[in-house]
Structure 1
Amino acid sequence: MSARPASLRRRIVLWLLAFATALTVAVIAQGAFVVEYVERSVWRSLLTVELDHFLERRRTDPAFRWDGTAGIAVYRGDDPALPPELSGLAPGLHDDLRIGAAEYVVLVRDDGGVRHLLAMDIDGFTRDESGSEWLTVAAALLLLAAIGVAAVVGVSRLLRPLSRLAERIGAMQPEREAGRVVLEPDAGAELVVIADAFNGFLQRNAEFVERERVFVNTASHELRTPVAVISGAAELALQPGAGAATVRHQLQRIQRSAREMEQLIAMLLALAKDPSRLARGTRPLALDALLAEIVDAHEHLTAGKSLQLRLAPSPPVAIDAPPGIVRAAVGNLLRNAIENSDSGVVDIRIAPGPAVVIRDPGHGMSPERISELYTRMARGDGSRGDSGIGLELTARLCEHLGWRLELQPDPERGTVATLRFGG
């Protein structure tokens, strides 16, 4: 079992304490260096003045002796009373020297070939200095403790909006509508970025779930009819005594239903994909040539009807779109026009935009029925009603791809379906 990672609050507090500790140590070290430097400068200046005074008096009065000021002593290099600790010292200032139980600072100088040493007892000063150092350390520890408490309290307050955001995200139920993450008005810019990113993810996830739902609902509805036709045709063809003509007719029904299923599956798969993935599958497409192929492939559906498919001549028209999706969408509209018409002419043409316009002489769709169709499409309930095979499916596909499907009743008779590519 892996160890639980440290919380963000703990990491920030530890980092602040580490930074404060390093800064405090650096300040103390710098202060100690400055104090030591100033201290040596003071000792050097003080002892130099005293030794200069002593040597000047000795030049004017060779019999002059140090008056025995407490804590200060002057020695010659050959003085028998010179403490052993001071013998052999080089010229210059020497501090922190122990002579007996006391600590001294000593200035050594050669004058006229004679070495002189001026020693001053600094034991009391050293004790006072040690007390100040311990006081400084204690103050630093108290400061670090105060910084630690302030860091814990401050970081907790700063991270409280983040904790509330995490609680809201954790409380979301996947089986319910996720909605959006809402922040307080005083939320920081960083939390706004996180919330916007998460809301964007929720939106994309909701769109994905909706595509899956539409796919399942529509597939179960739209594929039921062709599957039933194939099953029924196969049973009739396999009946004992079925003649060759009957078998051929049933096989043709199976073939037509299989083509219809192929188109429906292509449309369903397109609806289940993200629009950006579909856009990557687009390529330049000759719409006029493809439309002629679609009309020719649906000519057999007019058998047994006094119905004619008439494709208006068109100059070359090129679009960028997935060929299979265009074929399925236009074929779906054309098949719906044929199945809802008994006699007359189904006019197919390419309009500026570009767009494919299909005008059928069928029973016609009233404005109320067209409005009902779009209402069902927006609700996404997958119900077909009597609007024709796959019209809701085609409308959803157009909305998914940024195309536009327009259905209008013909003033004379029938319905005009217009599929506009590109919105």
Structure 2
Amino acid sequence: MTEKTAETKVTEAQRAALGLAQLSEDERRRGLLSIADAIDEHHEEILEANERDVTAGEELLAAGEYSQALVDRLKLSASKLDSISEMVRSVAHQDDPLEKTLAARRLDEGLDLYKVAVPIGVVGTVFESRPDALVQIAALCLKSGNAVILKGGSEASHSNRVLYELIREATAELPDGWAQLVEAREDVDALLEMDDSIDLLMPRGSSEFVRYIQNNTSIPVLGHTEGICHVYVDEAADLEMASDVAYDAKVQYPAVCNAVETLLVHEDVAEEFLPEIAARYEQAGVELRGDDATREIVEEAEAATEDDWSTEYGDLVLSIKVVDSLEAALDHITTYGSKHTESIVTDDDERASRFMRSLDSASVFHNASTRFSDGYRFGLGAEVGISTGKIHARGPVGLEGLTTYKYHLEGDGHVVASYAGDDVKPYLHEELEAEWTPGDRSDE
């Protein structure tokens, strides 16, 4: 059987998107629950495929071609698969994002305008390393009524293929071709040229990779780039709390984009705080890199370079800087951050407010680990990525970020000529508390 071209797959996805947008919420929910059941029933098959990817990854790690963080992101387990199917069910039971009336306005008697949430259409995704990303993205696209083109990295090809086939078989009753898998490297360049067929691209990877996508396509791009996240321990911090937050933000799962990469500590608490947290980090195997003030207190820390402040380690490595003020912390984050997630630990609400209002990051936290920056933890069901841009979605992108809107106008033979000329008929422009339904003639 001849492999379909990327162009053919996108054409099929376009056709499927029209059908998918017309499905009821219940039909989409049933498809998602079937996906979750399929994952539960095929643990052994998935883990066998994943083992092939991990084994190959470990060989390339030994050869110096892969990082440990990349290999860690590749790994699946029975408990991880349980979490994935739980995530799919969580998405299934989210409120329906479609056909919500976002606004309603009466232009004139019998002429009502509705702004209604609808799917984007065909979403193209290019992602690396994590096989669970394929399931997350597919689940969110199905719930939001979007067809999806999935392009994973070659390092996870066996895992991606098995997961995709399970999704395709579990949703056989849905419009054929709603989810498509492309695997060849050259397919990415082909996708970038399909601005008349693909409505949105969502790359997940390094900043260089996302910039390449943005610079080589006219399709709107929702970029998920690196996470250079910060925790700032303020002079008014509860230091026990600060230790727990800073430890969790680095150690709980260091390979992900919402893990902290730089710890900023106010000089007034540095001598008390740094030895304790450094000891905790040492027990967890965290390599520390500090500025001169940090190394005077934590002798085992290596000297931080200028590059460290703008590096996403994705591993058990952390840079530390002592600052003399909240303003210095803000300046450092503004200079080196990636506008992902920042956190302040302080008991001073006014200083927390200044921190949170002064930064241009997608997520800013007070007394909480940066690891909370996640679609599932935010109650979005899951996420297709974390957008560090501002248009059209920001932060963890869930169902709402996969919708757009269109206007539905319900009239009764109205014509514009009635509102023009010397005898102008005025528009009412009255806001309505009403939901759109086809042919609605509500007098509410």
Higher helix share: 1
> Could you say which structure has the larger radius of gyration?
1
TM-score (norm 2): 0.18
TM-score (norm 1): 0.19
Which gives a bigger RCO, structure 1 or 2 (Cα 8 Å, sep 6+)? 2
